[in-house]
Amino acid sequence: MKDIILDSMSELIASMDVNFNFTYFNKTYHSEFKKIFGPDLKIGDNILKKLSHLPKDQKKVEDIWGRAIRGEEFIVIQTLGDTNRERNTYEISYSSVKDDKGEITGAMHIVRDVTIRENLRQKAEQSMMAKQRFLSSISHELRTPLNSILGFSQLISYDKEKKNSELYSKSILRSGKHLLGLINDTLDYNKIQEGMLSVSPEVINPYELLVDIVEDMKNYALENDVKLYMNCDEHKDINIIADNQRYKQIIFNLVSNAIKYNKKNGSVEIKSKNENGMLIVEICDTGIGIENSDICKLWEPFDRLSNEATSIQGTGLGLTITKMLADMMNGVLDVKSEKGKGSVFSIGFISTTKTPVNIAKEYIHTKDDIFEEYTGKVIYIEDNTFNVVLMTNIMEFNFPKVQYEYSYDGHNAMKKICETDPDVILLDINLDGCNGIDILKNIRKNNKFSTKKVIMISADVTENIQKKCIQNGADAYLSKPIIIPAFLRTISPFLKKSDE
Ligand code: ADP
């Protein structure tokens, strides 16, 4: 009975005499010993002889069994096995075996395979260390722009004669944008790491996106004394399958790097080619280039290839995210570079003959924009005082003829909308105790308001929130923080002009 119980245990149990000869082993021990070390075992076998083909393990066994034979009781965590095979981790408890008179006659051990537990512990330790490294890098990265924002805001309050206020406010804006980029990159990086970022591939036309990006980046290129060209007309009708927003993010990142790491009077050219059923967009710059040995570090998080010491702002996360996004969408990201001469980053996606679905844009471009001439009624439903003050100033400054009202009360939003009868409703999503999307649904349910224009404005950056808003009847979506030109371009088509 005793043997049946011992043989059915998953633990390996064995004992030996003071000369290292086995006096007992259970069935599991017998089979595992063979699996781990090779030889078959019999009672009476000498363990040291059995391990003569594994001198390192033989020495370990001799030392450890020796301690137990001398009367020590202890537990060790040990990795055992042939180096050519998988080595498992074991928790082994040793104790001596005594006769009736209390004399030591040998030793015994109980062995538990703890490989899974140990692997999990190691993984948790590694992830904890990676998190600590991440937090220490990110807190350093956050402090730099914050230092500039806090410092220049204080300088503005000292600058009574407003001599340098414009310079200071430009610096605050620049650092604020950098901070925003850092937060967005960090969120994306974390989401990808945790497998929480999803992409929604659909048929898109890259040409339209590239035109938008060049338009958006024109000023940035100008500020950096870099000429920005686009030569993709030949492939303007080629469509690919990718997530619209994430594709834009990839190109945006590559173009912004090409401008950032350029030289004075340098240039950036966006070209396209259609090769082997793949539409490849190349971003070619005449910039500082990258050392051959550094190319493999480009995708590493926080590695800025010594650029941390320069005044060029960055997080070292852009290309990491770009690479991860490209991989998630089956895109092919490549780079060729020559130090001192420039780089070519390329991103390729399989082309498709299918036609693109209509994608709701974050904002609509209008060219004429003399905003003073616009009229109409606007109401902003928002529970945060700072956001209301900011919007009130934006509206009063840009649209002096527009009747503008606000309400902090999301619960009574419908009542307020009825009273005001606005042309445009600016609607926050996370209102105190209620959700802006529910208010949007109520607006769309009500026939009287079905034609009202609703712009959702939210700091909610969770996946697909923009799509959810548009699906529920929003006319546009803007994410916080508000970028004023984008806001003006979004709201103006929904207002009237005084001469109309
Ligand atoms: P960063 O926020 O530093 O720009 P990225 O991940 O986008 O982070 O890029 C990592 C590093 O790769 C940069 O710091 C820079 O040293 C280098 N790099 C990226 N793009 C270029 C380029 N077009 N030319 C030269 N170096 C580049």
Per-residue pLDDT at 39 exceeds 70: yes
Query: What value does the mean pLDDT take over residues 26-38?
Result: 88
Q: Contact at 8 Å (CB) between 328 and 196?
A: no
Give the per-residue pLDDT at 71.
Answer: 93
**How many contiguous H segments (helices) and E segments (strands) does the chain have?**
14, 20
End-to-end CA distance of the chain: 100
Per-residue pLDDT at 136 exceeds 80: no
What percent of the chain has pLDDT above 90?
54
What is the best residue among 142, 226, 257 to mutate for testing ligand 1's pocket, by most ligand atoms within 8 Å of CB? 257
**CA-proximal residue: ligand 1, atom 13 (nearest):** 304
Q: Could you tell me the pLDDT band of residue 360, with boundaries at 50, 70 and 90?
A: very low
Report the pocket of ligand 1 as residue ranges, CB < 6 Å: 257-258, 261, 285, 287-290, 298, 304-305, 307, 314-320, 343
What is the best residue among 138, 186, 220, 261 to mutate for testing ligand 1's pocket, by most ligand atoms within 8 Å of CB? 261
For residues 188 and 200, what is the distance between their CA atoms, to the nearest angstrom? 15
Residues of the chain by 3-state class (helix, strand, coil), percent to 5: 45, 25, 30
Most confident range (mean pLDDT) of 135-144, 171-180, 192-201, 449-458 is 449-458
Q: Could you tell me the pLDDT band of residue 361, with boundaries at 50, 70 and 90?
A: very low
311 CA from centroid of ligand 1 (Å): 13
If you write DSSP's letter for every residue of 85-127 in order, what string do you get?
SPPEEEEEEEEEEE-TTS-EEEEEEEEEE-HHHHHHHHHHHHH
Query: What value does the mean pLDDT take over residues 164-182?
Result: 87
Query: What value does the mean pLDDT take over residues 194-219?
Result: 89
**CA-proximal residue: ligand 1, atom 27 (nearest):** 261
Q: What is the mean pLDDT of the chain?
A: 88
For residues 108 and 90, what is the distance between their CA atoms, to the nearest angstrom? 15
Q: Is 311 helix (H, G, I), strand (E, B) or coil?
A: coil
277 CA from centroid of ligand 1 (Å): 29
126 CA from centroid of ligand 1 (Å): 27
194 CA from centroid of ligand 1 (Å): 24
pLDDT digits (tens, 9 = 90+) for 226-260: 999 999 999 999 999 999 889 999 999 999 999 99
Q: Could you tell me the pLDDT band of residue 138, with boundaries at 50, 70 and 90?
A: confident
Query: What value does the mean pLDDT take over residues 387-412?
Result: 92
Q: Looking at the CA of residue 262, tell me the nearest atom of ligand 1.
A: 24
Token couple for 346: 């390329």
**CA-proximal residue: ligand 1, atom 2 (nearest):** 314
Give the per-residue pLDDT at 359.
Answer: 47
What is the best residue among 251, 254, 285, 298 to mutate for testing ligand 1's pocket, by most ligand atoms within 8 Å of CB? 298
For residues 235 and 237, what is the distance between their CA atoms, to the nearest angstrom? 6
Per-residue pLDDT at 176 exceeds 80: yes
Give the per-residue pLDDT at 363.
Answer: 40
Pick from 189-203, 270-284, 410-424: least confident: 189-203
Distance of CA 163 to the CA centre of its chain: 41
Closest CA to 245 of 366, 363, 362: 362
